[in-house]
Amino acid sequence: MSQLLSHFQDLEPTSFESSWKSPANIAFVKYWGKKGHQLPANPSLSMTLNECTTTTKTKFTPAEKLSVSLKLEGKTEEKFALKIHNYLESLLTELPFLNKLQIEIETSNTFPHGTGIASSASGLSAFALTLTDYLKHLRPEEDESIFLKRASFLARLASGSACRSVYGGFACWGDSEMSETTDKYATALSVHPELAHLHDSVLVVSGKEKNVSSTAGHGRMGEHFFANARYAQAKYHFTKCVAALKAGDMEAVGEILEAEALSLHAMMLTSPQVYTLLKPNTIAAMERIWAFRRETKLPLYFTLDAGPNLHLIYPDQFQHKIATFINHELSPLGEKIIHDKVGEGPSRC
């Protein structure tokens, strides 16, 4: 049992309500492949966003048995309620009192479904934060300093990348050469002041639901011919990316961003059951970005999630020229653009 959940065994539930707003994040070094129970096969690093957030209110009421109801944008969503129910059941050994709770969740996103931004990181980190708040309510004497660690630990068990969203700025997750990183939860990463205000404009090439989920994609790494080479590359990129972020070297960060995006999608193209989530306009946009960089020498780079949409990353000081290029030259290749930037992390609301 993890130390972070070790002293909640003999508690009796009481009524409580908690509300959190939590952001999505974009990985600079990607988590792709698992080991053990929700542990990453390689370290990852991400930037927390500002505008793309989920707000979640959770009401905990003592009851005879565990039940979960969930409303998304005011509409009952049984599929998500079941997901949370299964997640809470998986925590019963550490937190047996969960079995005696009625849990009512109301949640909403600032980014509508179909914008190609995964809501699992923001949604599940917001829920994990309300659950962590509840644990704090039950054990108020607990040390405040472990609050975010515990929230990150609980978020990881719900969805890997969600564990990085509990911190503002940048976050690392997974064992690495850095002593403070661990597979169990994410830790905050401080970066050079020049890179502390990066933008992320998301070019939504397609907002349609993807046909191979991230869970299935992680699974396909299990028997992937290149899995070990990919994990070694991610470790190498992780160390280089941390160093570049700390040194304020945007060019080095940008090279890793694009290499990571293309490696992630190369894993899909070469997996035992081949597939791709890229669309023709994803490639067309990449080519325009490379041409723009060649011609202007301005630091605009892209990365990709497990989907066709480009996250366009650039420093604040070039915002005007780069946003003009994005709005005029890239927007015809997509359905819409969401201009976001690095954010300060979750907050109670």
Report the interface residues with ligand PMV, using CB under 6 A: 27, 30-32, 44, 118, 120, 159-161, 214, 218, 264, 305-306
Give the separation between CA 150 and CA 155, rounded to whole angstroms. Answer: 8
Distance in Å, CB of 325 to ligand PMV, minimum: 26
Least gap, CB of 198 to ligand PMV (angstroms):
16
User: From CA 243, how far away is CA 48, in angstroms rounded?
Assistant: 18
Angle at CA of residue 25, ends 23 and 31, nearest 5°: 140
Q: What is the 3-state secondary structure (H, E, C) of 107-172?
A: EEECCCCCCCCCCHHHHHHHHHHHHHHHHHHHCCCCCHHHHHHHHHHHHHHHCHHHHHHHCCCEEE
Nearer to ligand PMV, 159 or 271 (CB): 159
Nearer to ligand PMV among residue 28 and residue 97 (C-beta): 28
Measured from the CB of residue 83, what is the shortest distance to ligand PMV in angstroms? 12
Nearer to ligand PMV, 25 or 201 (CB): 25
The answer to whether residues 239 and 176 touch, using CB atoms and an 8 Å cutoff, is yes
CB of 115 to ligand PMV, least distance (A): 15
Q: Which CB sits closer to ligand PMV, 145 or 211?
A: 211
Q: Which residues contact 296 (CB under 8 A, 6 or more apart)?
A: 321, 325
DSSP 309: P
> Among 176, 55, 200, which Cα is nearest to 116's?
200
Q: What's the min distance (Å) between Cβ of 262 and ligand PMV? A: 13
Q: Which is nearer to ligand PMV, 103 or 162 (CB)?
A: 162
